[in-house]
């Protein structure tokens, strides 16, 4: 089982709709979760972090964490073409050595 798993996509969403990105992780003891956005040819940039169960909202972005089910998701409301990118889920796993572990990323395309 992969430590951090994402659907690689591509995921296509019409402009103005809600884009939903999902991520599951293997270590039940993980405490810190992040979503990074990476445009083609660019480095990842942090867009959301979440540490507690429930929802965390920041503008059009909402991160959702469910530790019991070991998944974290990212919702993008009112999707814009500029949201087209690869979204990387990252988790600090607690196998005795905290390190940030990434999923393979989901490529999102917003269709005008």
Partner 1 sequence: ETGVTQTPRHLVMGMTNKKSLKCEQHLGHNAMYWYKQSAKKPLELMFVYNFKEQTENNSVPSRFSPECPNSSHLFLHLHTLQPEDSALYLCASSQDLSGSSGNTIYFGEGSWLTVV
- Pick from 12, 16, 18, 51 the residue near partner 1 by CB under 8 A: 51
Min dist CB 111 to partner 1, Å, is: 23
Binding-site residue total for partner 1 (CB under 8 A)? 26
- What element of type H or E holds 19? strand 19-25
Closest CA to 89 of 42, 10, 53, 36: 36
Q: Does 17 bind partner 1 (CB under 8 A)?
A: no
Query: Per CB under 8 A, does 23 bind partner 1?
Result: no
Residue 64 CA to residue 81 CA, distance in Å, equals 23
Interacting residues with partner 1 between 55 and 74 (CB under 8 A): none
């Amino acid at each position: 089982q992969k430590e951090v798993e994402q659907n690689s996509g591509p995921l296509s969403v019409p402009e103005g709709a809600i884009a939903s990105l999902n991520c599951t992780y293997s270590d039940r003891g993980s405490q810190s979760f992040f979503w990074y956005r990476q445009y083609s040819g660019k480095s990842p940039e942090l867009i959301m972090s979440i540490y507690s169960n429930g929802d965390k909202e920041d503008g059009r972005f909402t991160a959702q964490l469910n530790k019991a089910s070991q998944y974290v998701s990212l919702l993008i409301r009112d999707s814009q073409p500029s949201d087209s990118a690869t979204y990387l889920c990252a988790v600090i796993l607690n196998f005795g050595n905290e390190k940030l572990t990434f999923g393979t990323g989901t490529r999102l395309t917003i269709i005008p």
